[in-house]
A and B are shown apart, each in its own frame.
Chain A
Amino acid sequence: MKTQPIDQFAAHLKADTRAAVYDGSKKGYDARIKTLFDHFEDPNRLRVVAGEIKQHVVENLDTYLPQVEAKLKANGVIVHWAATAEAANQAVLDIMRARNATKMVKSKTMVSEETGLGHFLEKNGVECVETDLGEFIIQIDNDHPSHLVKPIIHKNRRDIAMSFEKHGLGAYNDDPQTITRRARAHLRKKYLESDVALTGANFISAESGRLVLVTNEGNSRFCLAAAKTHIAMVGIEKILPRDRDLALLLNLLARSATGQQLTVYTEFITGPKSAAQPDGPEEMHVVFVDNGRTDVLASECREILRCIRCGACLNVCPVYRQASGHAYRSVYPGPVGAVLTPLLAGKNFPAFADLPKASSLCGACNEVCPVNIPIPDLLLRLRDRAKQEHIPSPGTPPMGPWAVLASRPMIWKTALTGGKAINYVSTKLIPVPALHTWENKHSLPEWKGGVFRKWLRNRPAKSSSS
């Protein structure tokens, strides 16, 4: 029997890729534990408070969005709104066209991955260069990121060396330092030739309108030192109430993502460069993007909008480690993706209904989440939704007959005794597909139906069966 898509993907994943994903994830997890628990008295309390702050924002977006918009405008930022991916891409293109701009450098932003901005701009004659090393490699390979913070976790140095050679970035050399130096030389030309820098935002403070961007490589800083126009594409859920909340979230973000205390470059931007500064954008635009977020807000899974895209849930997830990011078939892989992807898919929900089921519900994702998102609960809600929408779930045993059995004690007791048959006859004769799947991998323990109850009945009265 063919299992669900993500299981098939895992079954056919190259051993190399699995090993790369596994090692990368495990490293991230170990580093996180070390910094959080070495550094703080009560790291779990940080997560809980951060989660409460984000939940407050999510449930008060009607207040915060106009507030942050007013702040941005007062700071000299031009604010745009985009209800859909298409509108977001178009808004960016319009800004570029109005300035006869044809060259963009792009710092890693998940929301632009979501809207497919890069391909859209290329089709419209704009050169759009990814500057994060991993994203740059993804771009030249025409590949997809497979992790939120380590986009090329699925590739090894040999893969990269080959694609550099193919794209004229020097003869084959798989030394990571050489690869990095070549990208440095290539990309700094791109920064300096660019007209527009596109970034996302990790956070935006409603109190001051400060937009916070973090990168380790310094690519976002280079974008904002070289280009004359800055466009930030920002999901509507990225707001934090106060500047001091930024400190709490920044303390959690880098530790959760990579185990660093703080990301190397943490930039607070309130608008175009100051007059005396020779480098940097003379104008700044913020495009607030919905693209399905308000649907998520209206759903019973709105907690997922707390997500700060750290990737900790991917790193710890045993399913992600086995299946890799591409198995999730979307921009957001891993546990967060298993919730967000089907929700953001709108009418296309059935195509991703397998994702929430591809979880043992172990809860590790919730345990590491810096904003304490109850991911397992949300996965379960989506399973219930899929069932209510009658979306088939191959391989999941039918639960209706079981519920009848489990709510009628007489039948239950009969089944317990009758079940003994499986100790004597071949289970192949029993028409329960789940049993056969089980037996491909496991032995079944001996059936002991009714044995405990008989023991309890037949012993001298002490405790009772009532």
Chain B
Amino acid sequence: MATCLCDAFYDDVARATVEVLEYLGCTVEFPAGQTCCGQPAFNGGDWEASRKVVRHTVKTFAGDVPVIVPSGSCAAMMFHEALLEFEKEADLPEIEAFARRTWELVDFIVNGLGIKTWPGRYDAVVAFHRSCHLRGSKSGEAATTLMSSILGVTLVPFGEGEQCCGFGGTFSVTFPNISGAMGDLKLDHIRKANPSVLVSADMSCMMHLGGIAEKESKPIKTQHVVQVLRDALKNANLL
């Protein structure tokens, strides 16, 4: 599942996902009818609209192969949040079945495929923003496990790493003052650690933090974990 953000803005994240999965020996299918996971409407409070999109997604991904998504937030939408809005719906079992075969990408690589180290080389000081949708999942640890095994990567911690960046979907435009202040604070902490790249497992955090930094004319390079993995392979001519 490429996600709407990859479809619209982060084409290279989707591309890196395909390249990395193929490098690992997977065959990737891309159902062309896919759109979005339904989370914007779910978070925006319009569950009826959201269910419509979730149903479309489940139909589009019919089958039994694992569904891999390079976004902690879309993954959580599928394996947790959709279940809430379908609680009283007749097709809940289908949603549950779909939830069971949905994986966040990094979790899939580490805990699904059992890959614990990553080859190649990536020379960078990396600040890893553990996006909120990774809470309570194995993805955050999976991402740091992989990245810290890459030659050339220095992971730097930064202040209040447990705090949210302030994006929150429609929250960012409905509560722009609070969301913006949260973003400023997060950027402040990240900049103090002086990383060469800010890495996340969610494009939405990258878009929020990167967008604020850019607007301030103090841009910060943002990368998805999978871009780091892919580039590490490329840098060592493994891809």
Contacts and interface: CB of A to CB of B under 8 A. Distances in A.
A and B touch in the complex (CB under 8 A): yes
Interface of A: 3-4, 6-8, 10-11, 26, 316, 318-319, 322-323, 357-364, 366-367, 377, 380-381, 383-384, 386-387, 393-397, 399-400, 402-407, 409, 412, 416, 419, 434, 437-438, 440-453, 455-456, 462-466
Contacts of A11: 177
A465 B174 contact: no
Contacts of A361: 43, 132, 168-169, 171
B68 to A, nearest CB: 12
Given A361-B171, A364-B135, A399 B81 contact: no
Contact of A359 (B15, B18, B38, B168): B168
B47 interface: yes
Give the most central of A8, A386, A397: most B CB within 10 Å. A397
Interface string B207-229: 11011101100000000000000
11 contacts: A318-B163, A319-B178, A357-B45, A358-B175, A362-B168, A380-B42, A384-B85, A396-B174, A400-B49, A409-B32, A416-B7
A322 B181 contact: yes
- With most chain B CB atoms within 10 A of its CB, the pick from A363, A403, A453 is A403
Contacts of B8: 416, 419, 447-449
B11 interface: yes
Nearest to B172: A438
A448 B178 contact: no
Interface in B124-153: 132-133, 135-136
Given A362-B168, A402-B41, A463-B22, A4 B175 contact: yes
Contact of B11 (A357, A364, A451): A451
A452 B182 contact: no
A26 to B, nearest CB: 8
Given A7-B174, A407-B55, A465-B32, 16 more contacts: A322-B182, A361-B171, A364-B164, A366-B135, A367-B135, A393-B45, A403-B38, A406-B35, A406-B52, A407-B52, A416-B8, A449-B8, A455-B11, A456-B30, A463-B30, A466-B32
B195 interface: no
Given A3-B177, A4-B174, A444 B168 contact: no
A413 B28 CA distance: 20
A386 B45 contact: yes
Interface in B81-134: 81, 84-85, 132-133
Given A409-B33, A445-B211, A466-B30, A363 B136 contact: yes
Interface centre among B15, B31, B56, B173, by most chain A C-beta atoms within 10 angstroms, is B173
Given A393-B45, A453-B32, A364 B173 contact: no
Contact of B215 (A323, A394, A407, A443): A443
A443 B211 contact: yes
Contacts, number: 229
A248 B22 CA distance: 50
B155 interface: no
Given A359-B171, A465-B32, A444 B211 contact: yes
Contacts of A462: 22, 27
Nearest to B5: A445
Nearest to B215: A443
B157 interface: no
B154 interface: no
Nearest to B33: A409
A330 to B, nearest CB: 18
A444 B18 CA distance: 25
Given A318-B166, A322-B178, A399-B41, A363 B132 contact: yes
A3 B14 contact: no
B173 A437 contact: yes
Contacts of A366: 135-136
Nearest to A465: B30
Given A357-B171, A396-B170, A397-B170, A448 B11 contact: yes
B171 A360 contact: yes
Contacts of A409: 32-35, 60
B86 to A, nearest CB: 12
7 cross-chain pairs, A with B, having the tightest CB-CB distances, nearest first = A360-B168, A442-B211, A383-B45, A362-B164, A463-B28, A403-B49, A399-B46
B31 A466 contact: yes
A411 to B, nearest CB: 9
B188 interface: no
B38 A6 contact: no
B179 A406 contact: no
B167 interface: yes
B31 A381 contact: no
Contacts of B48: 387
Contacts of B136: 363, 366-367
A10 B18 contact: no
B176 A3 contact: yes
Given A322-B181, A384-B85, A403-B41, A443 B30 contact: no
Contacts of A367: 135-136, 162
Contacts of A10: 175, 177-178, 181
A438 B170 CA distance: 10
Contacts of B9: 445-448
A124 to B, nearest CB: 41
B29 A463 contact: yes
B179 A360 contact: yes
B36 interface: yes
B100 to A, nearest CB: 19
Contacts of B170: 396-397, 434
Contacts of A318: 163-164, 166, 182, 185
B66 interface: no
Query: Which of A26, A367, A445, A466 has the most C-beta atoms of chain B within 10 angstroms of its own C-beta?
Result: A445
B197 interface: no
A246 B47 CA distance: 39
B4 interface: yes
A434 B174 CA distance: 8
A229 to B, nearest CB: 46
B128 to A, nearest CB: 16
Contact of B56 (A381, A406, A438): A406
A409 B36 CA distance: 10
Contacts of A465: 30, 32
B27 A463 contact: yes
